[in-house]
Amino acid sequence: MIPPVLPHNVKDRIKDLVSSDVLDTSPEKEFDDVTFLASSVCHTPMALISLFDGGRQWFKSCRGIDISETPGFVSFCAHAINNPKGILEIEDTLNDERFHDNPMVIGQLEVRFYAGSPLVTPEGHVLGTLCVIDIKPKRLSSEQRNALKALSGIVIRQILTKREYQKAYQLLSEVEQEKSTKQSLETKIEERTVELEAAYQELEAFSYSVSHDLRAPLRSISGFSNALKDDYGDELDPAAQKYLERILKASARMGSLIDDLLSLSKISREHLSKEVLDISAICKEIIDLLAPSKKYSFLVDKGLQAFGDKKLIKIVLENLIANAIKYSSKKIDPVVTIEAIEVNGKQTICIKDNGVGFDMAYSKKLFGAFQRLHSNAQFEGSGIGLATAQRIINKHGGKIWAESEPDAGARFYLLIGEKANE
């Protein structure tokens, strides 16, 4: 076995990897969808998103393998990252002096085939690889190699998207909070405004990159998958048809996530057109549109009003009502109540349900982008809705907060208006 040689820019690469805030994080369906697609397209039983921090390789997503990390000295990924422009493909590990006696080859995993496409940042730092693995020798076709490379591009853009939106969201939240509390000096506001304009420009550029660079390979995967279904669907056995449907669903979900990201980036650029709003009527309209099953009971107070931008406030209410419906869906008799209460002498809208609720110890994660308190296996979602709602309410100079207990439902409070923070 020949140990891997570390890249010359190893310190900068690891610093970039750590700042991406993806190491040692929980599984995320967006990344799991990519390894599913890679495994399906390349016809391999295993696929990994492997991140190499020097001493180990850690797997952000694993398909077909039940380990989370391995030592760095046995890492195939550590060899692959030395060639950031190409795919490292080992057709038969037993015939390669670098790997023929590697523990991953002669041990329990019995790796015989490996292909890894590097995850390269715009700065040229290779964070790891998207790789596919088999227990028998094989060779990828040119189409499979191109697909693997395209999917690795999606992975790195997902990582960069999370990093950039977290940074921009934090900056925008700071600016909006300073404006709403009126505690900043005029010079401080001017400085922040300059930073905000720069952030807007970065978001514009990044939104274009997301829209163009991520959608292109997705359209290709979805288009070829639909063509395969239309032209050869009847010739596929039930298992192959099931895999094809999962590929189409995963592509659709990733497209939906891209749409959510773009919508979140546009909220702070929206111009407010305020008017007196009939909140009761808007809520009833949303309930009719969502059209949940008849087992739900909806109690909406009459005469609920607020002063704000109708389009944006409707987005907030849609998110909160949809969440109330979703998280109470497992109840026999789910009830969603929308009412006005008084909090510190101010009328506040409360949307509550009798669903699964959540532990208040994790409440700080509620309104963060990509933060979720329940897994996709329990309740599907992208983690964007409440971040969008908070940004809209902040833009109105208001407040949004929540109270809950596990299995005792949740209550979300909306204080809308310019004087909400006084």
State pLDDT tens for residues 232-268: 878 888 888 888 888 887 777 677 666 666 666 666 6
Residue with tokens 């298992």: 239
Using 50, 70 and 90 to split pLDDT, how confident is the model at 420?
very low
Domains of the chain, each with CATH number or no CATH: 10-151 (3.30.450.40), 153-267 (no CATH), 274-415 (3.30.565.10)
Host H or E run for residue 56: strand 56-63
CA separation, residue 117 to residues 5, 39, 144, 333, 353 (Å): 17, 13, 11, 50, 46
Alpha carbon distance 285, 412 (integer Å): 19
Nearest-10 crossing angle of helices 186-209, 238-267: 150
Q: Which tens digits make up the pLDDT trace of 335-368?
A: 999 999 988 888 899 999 998 888 888 777 777 7
Least confident of 75-84, 176-185, 357-366, 368-377: 368-377
Indicate if the pLDDT at residue 142 is higher than 80.
Answer: yes
Tell me the three state secondary structure of residue 147. Answer: helix
Tokens 């390269």 locate to: 120
Q: What Å distances lie between residue 382 and 48, 166, 202, 209, 296, CA to CA?
A: 22, 15, 22, 20, 24
Per-residue pLDDT at 419 exceeds 50? no
Nearest to 43, CA basis, from 64, 57, 23: 64
Buried b (16+ CB within 10 A) or exposed e, 403-420: bbeeeebbbbbbbbbeeb
In 3D space, the residue among 388, 304, 307, 397 whose CA is nearest the CA of residue 351 turns out to be 304
Q: How far apart are CA 155 and CA 143, in angstroms?
A: 18
- The answer, yes or no, to whether residue 2 has pLDDT greater than 80, is yes
pLDDT at position 422? 40
Question: Which residue would you say has higher pLDDT here, 151 or 233?
Answer: 151
CA dist 296 → 105, 302, 351 (Å) = 55, 19, 15
pLDDT digits (tens, 9 = 90+) for 185-217: 667 777 777 777 776 666 666 665 665 666 677
User: Which pLDDT score is estimated for 90?
Assistant: 94
Select from 131, 133, 134 the least CA-distant residue to 152: 131
pLDDT higher for 12 or 370? Answer: 12
Per-residue confidence (pLDDT) for residue 218, from 0 to 100: 75
